[in-house]
């Protein structure tokens, strides 16, 4: 593919160029990985994909999915989850990440772990993911909160000169980045198209695609944990219910718990290419409705209007953030 021929735009916050491919925008490294995995990755029918657009609840979904999936089977002595790897590792490091870990199929799969995670939109998933009928769980978040989270996250990226984006005085401004996000020119954007792709898939294939809303998971995490367990074919047994396993998973994966772990307070990981990010950047506030502290009235109106137009006829309503 000739890179010079594909549209590109400068992502102001992350100080990198985004390339448009199959209707969505990616940094170059991710685009190259995407093309490679589209050609090479072979999904198995037993795979379970955890998906979300950037900043829509990916870290949390991975933690929940991992804790639910690995109970009983992986950590047999882990009755109280006290030896769960989530206590020592960021959830991004316990669930393999399709577009980061599988370029050229270099990563061998853990045969005991059917989970994989991806930010990719439904229409760009490798063909085998769709044809194998493997399960997909999607986390959607209200776009105003997603944008606010997105903005803050990219301020925390550490550039190769070891400066934070913010300190490096990248030419970003909140207003300009907002405009780009609204135009769909954000990492993994257009956000609304990403959401709608998975929403439609969940309507067409309800047993295969589960569509969750961040706000609803936040509102009743216990209900969502039981729903997730059922969807992946591992409902909680009466014994587990008696032992309060679902409740313990909720607590383990709560924002309060994860954000206070040493690994998530002090760790650091590579983000995209040479860019680094502190683990703590994945845990900012973990609440719904923070947009009210950041968006001017006019911005709120603009984004709500876009949501209204984009969602028209889809029957999708974003989770409430009031």
Pair 154, 13: CB distance under 8 Å: yes
Q: Does 49 bind ligand PAP (CB under 6 A)?
A: no
Q: Does 147 bind ligand PAP (CB under 6 A)?
A: no
Structure tokens at 6: 């594909």
Distance, in Å, from the CA atom of 12 to the CA atom of 173, rounded to the nearest integer, reads 8
> Of these, 18, 34, 56, 115, which contacts ligand PAP (CB under 6 A)?
56
Provide φ and ψ at 71, rounded to 5°.
-65, 155
Residues in contact with 96: Cβ distance below 8 Å, sequence separation at least 6, in sequence order: 102, 107, 109, 110, 113, 115, 116, 117
Q: Does 279 bind ligand PAP (CB under 6 A)?
A: no
In the chain, the N- to C-terminal Cα span, in Å, equals 45
> Of these, 74, 276, 290, 302, which contacts ligand PAP (CB under 6 A)?
290
Nearest to 40 by CA among 103, 100, 108, 131: 103
> Of these, 11, 52, 170, 182, which contacts ligand PAP (CB under 6 A)?
52
Beta strand pairing status for 276-278 and 268-270?
antiparallel
Judged on CB neighbours under 10 Å (0-12, 13-18, 19+), 277 is buried
Q: Does 89 bind ligand PAP (CB under 6 A)?
A: no
Judged by CB under 6 A, the number of residues near ligand PAP is 23
> Of these, 23, 54, 235, 267, which contacts ligand PAP (CB under 6 A)?
54
Closer residue to ligand PAP in complex, CB, 202/264: 264
Q: Does 143 bind ligand PAP (CB under 6 A)?
A: no
Closer residue to ligand PAP in complex, CB, 179/251: 251
Residues in contact with 236: Cβ distance below 8 Å, sequence separation at least 6, in sequence order: 226, 229, 245, 246
* Least separation in angstroms between CB 298 and ligand PAP: 21
> Of these, 14, 19, 33, 55, which contacts ligand PAP (CB under 6 A)?
55
Closer residue to ligand PAP in complex, CB, 46/320: 320
Instruction: From 191-199, 224-232, 283-291, 312-320, give the range in contact with ligand PAP by CB under 6 A.
Output: 283-291
> Residues with catalytic annotation?
119
Distance, in Å, from the CA atom of 236 to the CA atom of 319, rounded to the nearest integer, reads 26
* Least separation in angstroms between CB 149 and ligand PAP: 3
Closer residue to ligand PAP in complex, CB, 59/84: 59
Closer residue to ligand PAP in complex, CB, 42/227: 227
Q: Does 295 bind ligand PAP (CB under 6 A)?
A: no
Binding residues for ligand PAP restricted to 249-268, rule: CB under 6 A: 253-255, 258
> Of these, 227, 234, 284, 294, which contacts ligand PAP (CB under 6 A)?
284
Buried b / exposed e over 5-40, threshold 16 CB at 10 Å, is: eeeeeebbbbbbebbbbeebbbbebbbbbbbbbbee
Interface with ligand PAP by CB under 6 A: which residues? 52, 54-60, 63, 145, 149, 152-153, 253-255, 258, 282-286, 290
């Amino acid at each position: 593919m000739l890179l010079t021929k594909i549209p590109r735009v400068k992502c102001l916050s992350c100080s990198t160029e985004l390339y448009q491919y199959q209707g969505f925008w990616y940094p170059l490294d991710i685009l190259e990985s995407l093309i490679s995995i589209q050609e090479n990755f072979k999904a198995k029918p037993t795979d379970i994909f955890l998906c979300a657009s950037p900043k829509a609840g990916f870290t949390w979904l991975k933690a929940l999915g991992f804790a639910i999936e690995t109970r009983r089977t992986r950590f047999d002595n882990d009755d109280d989850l006290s030896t769960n790897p989530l206590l020592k590792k960021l959830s991004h490091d316990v669930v393999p990440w399709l577009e980061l870990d599988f370029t050229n199929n270099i990563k061998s799969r853990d045969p005991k772990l059917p989970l994989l995670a991806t930010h990719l939109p439904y229409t760009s998933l490798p063909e085998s993911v769709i044809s194998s009928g493997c399960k997909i769980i999607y986390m959607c978040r209200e776009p105003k909160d997603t944008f606010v989270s997105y903005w803050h996250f990219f301020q925390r990226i550490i550039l190769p000169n070891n400066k934070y984006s913010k300190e490096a005085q990248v030419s970003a401004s909140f207003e300009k980045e907002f405009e780009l996000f609204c135009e769909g020119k954000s990492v993994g954007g257009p956000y609304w198209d990403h959401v709608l792709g998975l929403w439609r898939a969940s309507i067409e294939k309800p047993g295969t695609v589960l569509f969750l809303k961040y706000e609803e998971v936040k509102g009743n995490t216990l209900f969502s944990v039981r729903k997730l367990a059922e969807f992946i074919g591992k409902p909680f047994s009466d014994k587990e219910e008696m032992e309060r396993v679902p409740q313990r998973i909720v607590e383990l994966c709560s924002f309060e718990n994860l954000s206070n772990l040493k690994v998530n307070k002090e760790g650091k990981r590579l983000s995209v290419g040479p860019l680094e990010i502190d683990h703590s950047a994945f845990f900012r506030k973990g609440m719904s409705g923070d947009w009210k502290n950041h968006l001017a009235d006019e911005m709120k109106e603009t984004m709500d209007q876009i949501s209204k137009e984009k969602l028209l006829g889809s029957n999708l309503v974003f989770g409430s953030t009031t």
